[in-house]
Amino acid sequence: RQMLCLHGLLPPRVMSEEGQAERIMSGLRKRSSDLDRYTDLMDLLDRNEKLFYRVLCDHIQELMPIVYTPTVGRACQEYGHIFRRPKGLFITIHDLGHIESILANWPERDIKAICFTDGERILGLGDLGCDGMGIPVGKLALYTACAGIKPHNLLPVILDVGTDNEELLKDEYYIGLRQHRDRSANYDQLISEFIESVKLWFGPTTLLQFEDFGNRNAFRLLNEYRNKCCTFNDDIQGTASVALAGVYASLRLTKKKLCENTFLFQGAGEAAIGIAMLLVAAMKQEGVKEEDALKRIWLVDSKGLVVKDRTKGGIAGTHKIPFAHQHEYIETLKEAVEVLKPTCLIGEQLAVTISGGARAHSSQLFGRVQ
């Protein structure tokens, strides 16, 4: 302390990193809400990155729901109100033609992975615009805590093209562009310039993770860039890989082949379609023809069972069409289970139903699964 001219500037007691971490956890546990715990952790990340990751790694099971879902969703909803210090890069639709120079402003050059979003479909909360930055920040914190990737090799990015959330546009503390979403050709130009600038500035092997893009863009952008750069869409492909692993694990108990199952999905968004597509690919590896694999998968969306020539609500989005079979229209999931007799139910809303308290109804529903 004397050599560094710190004598008298610090308390007499020298506390180890372990002791500092336990003090942080003690304070977090005294907080009355998870949002307060999230804010405390982000403040810690700002002032002492090493201690932040020590706390997170030592208490990953307890803190993962704080750093990421479900608390990060609430944090994004309040992002402008709890904003302290910027994290990551903020690139707007007005930066077209200058994105490489913005990347050059980032102090690190050795970037291995980038998580980026346009904020249009943040978790199940909808369009949060620039306030969706909490998602890339939280996701990359888990890259370090769970996968051991060094923080300076990671970069969270928000592509701000505006928001159609009227409440945010009227919020005096909203941190993003105060305009409706730009859905012109400029949007695609922004994505293209961003990806090409990343490849030029950080290298072609830099991982680009699409996160929480809206349905209208997620599938087409993945198809556009999946063979042009090192990329994946977490909502479509990441969720699917975990779900397929769970299905494979269940086959050890049921003693069935994957292609001997009938899958029924509650929901037909990015996650559901991603899982369904990966199930088809997995069945094809078993030697099943694609058309036969598709017949094993059914979708129930907000309008009911997805079938060909559906008179009620039609079919929104081309990504559902391969799973629209010739069948009579069924309005509810319960009826679909009774008629189709699936062997596997998949869907986030099923978990929501159970956690929401309707356990008896859900038990009856699962009881009808073959």
List, for residues 311-357, the tens digit of each pLDDT value. Answer: 776 777 788 889 999 999 999 899 999 999 999 999 865 543 333 44
**253: pLDDT strictly greater than 60:** yes
Catalytic residue among 38, 68, 143, 174: 68
Q: With cut-offs at 50, 70 and 90, classify the pLDDT of residue 102.
A: very high
151: nearest Cα among 100, 112, 117: 112
Q: What is the pLDDT of residues 191-221, one digit of tens each?
A: 999 999 999 999 999 999 999 999 889 999 9
Work out the average pLDDT over 70-74: 95
Q: Flag whether the pTM goes above 0.75.
A: yes
Tens of pLDDT along 29-69? 999 999 999 999 999 999 999 999 999 999 999 999 999 99
What CA–CA distance (Å, rounded) separates 253 from 205?
40
- Which pLDDT belongs to residue 214? 93
> What is the full DSSP assignment across 177-224?
-SS----SHHHHHHHHHHHHHHHHHH-TT-EEEE-S--HHHHHHHHHH
Over the range 178-190, which residues count as b (16 or more CB within 10 Å of their CB) and which as e?
ebebbeeeebeeb
Question: What's the pLDDT at 353?
Answer: 38
Backbone angles phi, psi at 297, to 5 degrees: -125, 130
Tokens of 60: 């990953």
| CA atoms of 169 and 164, how far apart (whole Å) | 8
pLDDT at position 103 is: 98
pLDDT band at 370 (very low <50, low <70, confident <90, very high): low
Q: In angstroms, what CA-CA distances link 347 with 147, 266, 271, 323, 350?
A: 27, 5, 9, 15, 6
Sign of CA dihedral 115, 161, 320, 224: negative
Neighbours of 251 (CB within 10 A): 13
Average of per-residue pLDDT values in the chain: 92
Cα–Cα–Cα angle for 14, 15, 21, rounded to 5 degrees: 165
What amino acid occupies position 290? E
Q: Show the tokens assigned to 326.
A: 């010739």
pLDDT at 368: 60
- Is residue 68 annotated as part of the catalytic site, yes or no? yes
- Pick from 224, 232, 158, 228: which is nearest to 188 by CA? 224
Which residue of the set 53, 79, 87, 139 is catalytic? 139
At 108-152, the pLDDT tens digits run: 999 999 999 999 999 889 999 999 999 999 999 999 999 999 999
Q: Is 139 an annotated catalytic residue?
A: yes
